[in-house]
Amino acid sequence: MSEKEKRAAGWQHMKRMLADAGKPDVPGLCVSRACAYWWTTAPTFARDQKCIKDVDSSGPDHAADAARCGILAQAWVKDIQVKWPYR
């Protein structure tokens, strides 16, 4: 898989996680309102003319690109057991 295809797959994964945000049974991505730069730049991405599944990297994609890299690097946990110290 080429680097361009990996980037496009990462954007598709991020798009799916944004759509799944708030669902209790699948991982989702919620972006805080405090992430002003992300909200300023991410909703206005232009598509790459050569690879329509990718984002045009000549624009300001730094915040969303960092989120995409973090999503792909994350090792997802399937089961978390929390022990509360107050019980």
Per-residue pLDDT of the chain (87 residues; tens, 9 = 90+): 777 778 788 888 888 999 999 998 888 999 999 999 989 888 877 777 777 777 767 777 788 888 888 888 866 666 667 777 765
Is residue 86 a part of any domain in this protein? Answer: no
d(CA 4, CA 54) in angstroms, rounded, equals 8
Specify the number of domains making up the chain: 1
Is residue 80 a part of any domain in this protein? Answer: no
Is residue 46 a part of any domain in this protein? Answer: yes
Q: In Å, what is the CA distance from 33 to each residue of 37, 39, 48?
A: 10, 8, 27
What pLDDT was estimated at residue 76?
62
What pLDDT was estimated at residue 74?
65
What pLDDT was estimated at residue 75?
63
Domain that holds residue 16: 3-73
Question: Global pTM?
Answer: 0.70
What pLDDT was estimated at residue 17?
92
Is residue 83 a part of any domain in this protein? Answer: no
